[in-house]
Amino acid sequence: MAVAKTKLEKFLEDTVVFLGPDREILKDHGLAPRDDREERVMRDHKDPHEIGLVRSKLDVIAEEAFDQLEQTGAAPGAKWGDLVAGVFTASGDLAAASTGGVLLFSVVCQPMLRYILKYWKDEPTVGIRPGDIFTSTDPRYGNIHTPDQNTILPVFDDEGRLALWVIVIVHEGENGSVEPGGMPSAAESPYMEGIRMPPVKIGENYQHKRDIVTWLQNSVRDPMLQIQDMKIRLSACLKMKERIEQVAQEYGWDAIVSTLRWTLEDTEAEVRRRLRAWPEGTVRSIAWTDSTLRENALIKIALEARKKDDELILDFRGTSPQFINRSINTQLHALKGMLAQVFLTFVWPDLPRNQAVFAPMRLMSDWGSALDSTPEAPNAQSMMTFFPGFTALQMCVAKFLYPTPKRYTKLLAPWYNMITTFIYGGLNQYGEIVGNLCADLNGMSGGAREDEDGEHSIAPIFAAMTDLGENEIIEEETPIVKIVPHRLMQDNQGFGKFRGGSGYQVIGTVRRSDMFGFMTTCTGSKFPTVYGLFGGYGAPSYPLCKVKGVNAFEKLKDLPESKWTIPGIMNEQPFADARYSTHHMGMQFEIVKQGELYMICQGAGGGYGDPLERDPDAVMSDLRDQLISHLTAKEVYLVAYDERTLSVDVEATERRREAERQARKRRGRPFDEFVKQWVTEEPPAGLPYYGPWGDRETIYLGGPANKMARGTCPGIMMTDPREVRIAELEQKLRELGVELAR
């Protein structure tokens, strides 16, 4: 019997159709246990001062690689820091990363390395040898999404043992997906999202294999970008390897291996120590995403954070099910990477950037939900769900931090969280095929701080010191012309005692090309994605606006200054015979006719505290800077002032504010009464609602008529919006036919 079982096991082992994504690897984000070598070298090399010197050198090496990539990368993302360089332990844990760039990229490399170690290390046809070059772009194996490409290099010590890995990752953009630019919202399956490479060897002897390079170039719209950035990534990895070997000459390989491991363990211990200082308890927050990028849909992202001792449990159970034919789903490890960014950038920016920071956090989620999707669900636009997940955590963390005496940076309201930009593609003015995205996504506005206002359009939630770029350069390289590239929008901020930062409006079009187009990918056009904190207001919602049927270049000279804004154009419609329309921000790729206007607005940061507590002088300052309107000054901040001189009537202001406080009390209701008045058993009919409504065990799939028990829904299939539209029109035709027949 035993023999038969072994044979069966062997048969099953040998007869695998596909070594697909490994759920066990993807679920585990903890540090790998010490291996024998680590155990030994950590005993021999434990002088913290020497380890500190080695660590400094490794940090410098990662920084140097980052600088080189930023300078030499051809992808627009590379130029403004949408990349990272890191050093990983032999077991695959990130131990040192460049301080610049997108850290979550490297955090999500852990599963790829574990996959390589588990499946390819002993596989005779693959193996891991000096000189090998690997890559992996398929998010089902440990990437964020397919436009992010990486180069993975194993580094061996003098005795031929795998000592560590060096990895660089760049958001390359174009990847041959169904829409140009690499982040298709039109993708209805993973197989429409461009090249999907599981962990794969693409080179040997420190050289790319030309046949594989050709295959990759053959799969994308921009073969020049593909080869150029493959080369620069490899070059940066080789430089890191060479530098590390120099450190090894000085300190020895064992010292390096020991340093990597001590770095991780010391970091985890520090995080646990800091968590212990937080109050015990449970806090909750909810974030929303209001679109699948193809249709309106109110999707619930629910987080319950429980802090106990030195552990933080992040419970996302009850989040909406995944959308099987929409690209907004998130792989669990991508969510983890984004959540790690909350801690590393917004809570403990002083900590080293490595895997251990997130190790003490435990995640709970529903397999098959929008934040823990299965391999069948596309995810090129996973940001649409994991960015709100980030915001939900920001809100929860703020509640823990408020009573915590020792903080490591400022407490703040949520940062804006959507990638408001034009993704573009087509033929540029030189006849080259290009596809990528504008750096405007880096203009996310900062949330208000506990003691000061948030900053206007400053940095994305996922990286510091990024760049909005220079329009003169953009215009030189692409046919994009931004008529209004950077103009802050009035009243576009989360109001509060301290207000969030404002976002700028962009009015863009195309010139000198008839084969060039845009797409946009944001949610929050109908229901905001960013909320206020402790009484502050959230960001507004932002539609996409278009003016078609006009060549604006012929009309600009007649456009008065007051109309060089989105509200000016959309409300006053200054171009006769043009078509004005608003849309949600999930615009699939479309060709832009020269001179037609596409208008988007950078989002605002959330406000902090009650607007009635805002210093009236700060309100006047915002008025002077045209950041707010008189309506806001009077009706939101309740300031009494002279409109001509902007001098504040302090006493009248206080009287107005006090009156409002009293009115609030009068409007207030006991909780039970409030619940009775407000809470309904089910979501309203007609609202395309996805997720739990009351308790999280019942999940609604589009409205009250369609619900299932949590964990039983394999995913939601949405109807093609064009089919919906055709059906609507056919119905109208039928109705018209009936009417005519009368």
Are 336 and 389 in contact by the 8 Å Cβ rule? The answer is: no
Least Cβ distance, residue 471 to another protein (angstroms): 6
Q: Which is nearer to another protein, 186 or 240 (CB)?
A: 240
Of positions 272, 482, 548, 593, contacts another protein by CB under 8 A = 482
Of 155-163, 468-476, 608-616, 672-680: span binding another protein (CB under 8 A): 468-476
Q: Tell which positions 431-450 bind another protein, by CB under 8 A.
A: 431-432, 442-443, 446, 449
Element (H, E) at 485: strand 480-488
Q: Tell which positions 343-382 bind another protein, by CB under 8 A.
A: 345-346, 349-352
Exposure b/e, 649-659, CB count within 10 A at least 16 = b: eeeebeebbee
Q: Which is nearer to another protein, 316 or 424 (CB)?
A: 424
Are 83 and 169 in contact by the 8 Å Cβ rule? The answer is: yes
Residue 302, phi then psi, degrees to nearest 5: -110, 135
Q: Tell which positions 601-640 bind another protein, by CB under 8 A.
A: 624-626
Helix (H, G, I), strand (E, B) or coil at 316: coil
Q: Which is nearer to another protein, 263 or 291 (CB)?
A: 263
Of positions 320, 421, 466, 653, contacts another protein by CB under 8 A = 466
Which residues on adjacent β-strands are paired with residue 148?
171
Q: What is the DSSP letter of 718?
A: P
- Total residues contacting another protein by CB under 8 A comes to 95
Of positions 211, 472, 672, 681, contacts another protein by CB under 8 A = 472
Can you tell me the distance from the alpha carbon of 336 to that of 615, in angstroms, rounded to the nearest whole number? 39
Q: Which is nearer to another protein, 236 or 718 (CB)?
A: 236
Q: Which is nearer to another protein, 425 or 691 (CB)?
A: 425
- Considering only CA atoms, which of 666, 708, 702, 663 is closest in space to residue 685? 702
Can you tell me the distance from the alpha carbon of 478 to that of 438, in angstroms, rounded to the nearest whole number? 10
**Can residue 723 be called a binding residue for another protein (CB under 8 A)?**
no
Of 89-97, 320-328, 462-470, 523-531: span binding another protein (CB under 8 A): 462-470
Q: Tell which positions 176-235 bind another protein, by CB under 8 A.
A: 224-225, 227-228, 231-232, 234-235
Q: Which is nearer to another protein, 324 or 483 (CB)?
A: 483
Helix (H, G, I), strand (E, B) or coil at 579: strand
**Can residue 302 be called a binding residue for another protein (CB under 8 A)?**
no
Q: Which is nearer to another protein, 466 or 653 (CB)?
A: 466
**Can residue 250 be called a binding residue for another protein (CB under 8 A)?**
yes
Q: Which is nearer to another protein, 324 or 359 (CB)?
A: 359
Of positions 204, 477, 654, 660, contacts another protein by CB under 8 A = 477
Close Cβ partners of 457 (under 8 Å, ≥ 6 residues apart): 443, 444, 445, 468, 486, 488, 501, 502, 503, 504, 602
Of 23-31, 426-434, 521-529, 641-649: span binding another protein (CB under 8 A): 426-434
Can you tell me the distance from the alpha carbon of 705 to that of 697, in angstroms, rounded to the nearest whole number? 16
SS (H, E, C) 177-214: CCCCCCCCCCCCCHHHCCCCCCCEEEEECCEECHHHHH
Can you tell me the distance from the alpha carbon of 137 to that of 198, in angstroms, rounded to the nearest whole number? 6
Binding flags for another protein, 525-564, as an x/- string (CB under 8 A)? ----------------------------x--xx---x--x
Q: Which is nearer to another protein, 200 or 238 (CB)?
A: 238
Q: Tell which positions 502-521 bind another protein, by CB under 8 A.
A: 504, 507, 511
Close Cβ partners of 185 (under 8 Å, ≥ 6 residues apart): 179, 293, 294, 326, 327, 328, 380, 381, 519, 521, 586, 588
Q: Tell which positions 73-132 bind another protein, by CB under 8 A.
A: 73-74, 76, 78-79, 99-100
- Sole residue written with tokens 């109807």: 719
**Can residue 483 be called a binding residue for another protein (CB under 8 A)?**
yes
Least Cβ distance, residue 736 to another protein (angstroms): 44
Least Cβ distance, residue 68 to another protein (angstroms): 6
Least Cβ distance, residue 333 to another protein (angstroms): 23
Of positions 22, 63, 295, 660, contacts another protein by CB under 8 A = 63
Sequence letter at residue 197: M
Q: Tell which positions 256-285 bind another protein, by CB under 8 A.
A: 266-267, 270
Can you tell me the distance from the alpha carbon of 521 to that of 516, in angstroms, rounded to the nearest whole number? 17
Least Cβ distance, residue 226 to another protein (angstroms): 9
Element (H, E) at 44: helix 36-44
Q: Which is nearer to another protein, 118 or 555 (CB)?
A: 555
Q: How far is CA 734 from the centre of its chain?
A: 44
- Sole residue written with tokens 């095929």: 433
Can you tell me the distance from the alpha carbon of 37 to that of 164, in angstroms, rounded to the nearest whole number? 12
Least Cβ distance, residue 268 to another protein (angstroms): 11
Q: Which is nearer to another protein, 332 or 597 (CB)?
A: 597
Q: Which whole-number Å values give the CA distances from 519 to 330, 489, 585, in the listed order?
A: 21, 22, 9
**Can residue 306 be called a binding residue for another protein (CB under 8 A)?**
no
Can you tell me the distance from the alpha carbon of 396 to that of 373, in angstroms, rounded to the nearest whole number? 23
Binding flags for another protein, 398-417, as an x/- string (CB under 8 A)? -----------xxxx--x--
Q: Which is nearer to another protein, 138 or 254 (CB)?
A: 254
Q: Helices in 490-615 by DSSP H: which ranges?
A: 566-572
**Can residue 67 be called a binding residue for another protein (CB under 8 A)?**
yes
**Can residue 28 be called a binding residue for another protein (CB under 8 A)?**
no
Least Cβ distance, residue 611 to another protein (angstroms): 21
How many other CB atoms are found less than 10 A from the CB of residue 238?
A: 16
Least Cβ distance, residue 265 to another protein (angstroms): 11
**Can residue 468 be called a binding residue for another protein (CB under 8 A)?**
yes
Least Cβ distance, residue 575 to another protein (angstroms): 14
Structure-token pair, residue 551: 């060549």
Q: Tell which positions 665-694 bind another protein, by CB under 8 A.
A: none
Of positions 8, 19, 20, 48, contacts another protein by CB under 8 A = 48
Are 604 and 445 in contact by the 8 Å Cβ rule? The answer is: yes
**Can residue 703 be called a binding residue for another protein (CB under 8 A)?**
no
Are 602 and 445 in contact by the 8 Å Cβ rule? The answer is: yes
Least Cβ distance, residue 303 to another protein (angstroms): 20
